Amino acid sequence: MARTADSFRRKESRFRQLPTVLVLCEDLKSGKSYLEDAAIHFRANAKVEIAHCGVTHPQGIVEHAIERQNKFDKVFCAFDRDSHESFEDALRLAGKHPKITVIASYPCFEFWLLLHFGYSRKPFARAGRNSPGDLVSIDLKEKPGMENYQKSGAAGYFKKLLGAPFNEARKNAPRVMADVLKSGDPNPSTQIHLLIDEFEQLATPQNL
């Protein structure tokens, strides 16, 4: 028996089409690898492209995002505050483009990793030859299993920290941001949890 038009309509999707997402990372190794593994974990990798655009300064990353934004529904720029001179310029530039969201870490991505081991609002400031980001890495290396951490080193830290430490970071990061709103001081803080939330949402079909 021939199928009617109504029978075909009943087979149409009951879910919204998921958005396509571009994530541009400042670093080529640890942060990028962590986010790639997170996207795979949440089964969002089919809709997410995570890339390093060949520059490491915030303004250049945002400029690259502007060039590519028309091919995506959402664009995220994940970069560190640390000692970047173009950081504020990058924020202002991104603010002119509604599709682009900055995911900032003060002073660096490693503070997100540090939150896997407990809540902290201890500020980081340059000390001698060590940048604020260097000092976060020094603290991070004191944590169990992180003794050999290198920003440009081996991948695998998402899987290494998955479970209770990962859940701890997802709990601590919003608490930190709430304190930032009260105090007005973003040092230290991170918005990486917002990307994690985005990946998780992409894995959840949205009803029409």
DSSP annotation string for 48-98: EEEEE-S--SHHHHHHHHHHHGGG-SEEEEEEE-TT-TTHHHHHHHHTT-T
pTM of the full structure: 0.88
What is the pLDDT of the chain when averaged over all its residues? 89
Q: Where are the domains of the chain?
A: 17-202
CB 85 within 8 A of CB 32: no
As a whole number of angstroms, the distance between CA 186 and CA 181 comes to 8
CB 25 within 8 A of CB 108: no
- Residue predicted with more confidence, 30 or 100: 100
As a whole number of angstroms, the distance between CA 119 and CA 172 comes to 5
Quickly state the pLDDT bin for 14 (edges 50, 70, 90): low
Tell me what the mean pLDDT of segment 68-79 comes to: 96
15 beta partners: 207
pLDDT of residue 125: 92
Peptide bond into 188 cis (omega under 30): yes
pLDDT of residue 19: 87
Evaluate if residue 3 carries a pLDDT over 80.
no
pLDDT tens-digit readout, 142-197: 999 999 898 776 578 999 999 999 999 999 999 999 999 999 999 999 999 999 99
pLDDT of residue 65: 97
pLDDT of residue 27: 82
3-class secondary-structure state, position 156: coil
Tell me what the mean pLDDT of segment 7-26 comes to: 71
Angle, CA 31 vertex, CA 86 and CA 126 arms, to 5°: 50
DSSP annotation string for 101-113: EEEEEES-THHHH
Peptide bond into 165 cis (omega under 30): no
pLDDT of residue 29: 80
Evaluate if residue 8 carries a pLDDT over 50.
no
pLDDT tens-digit readout, 18-61: 889 999 998 878 889 999 999 999 999 888 999 988 887 899 99
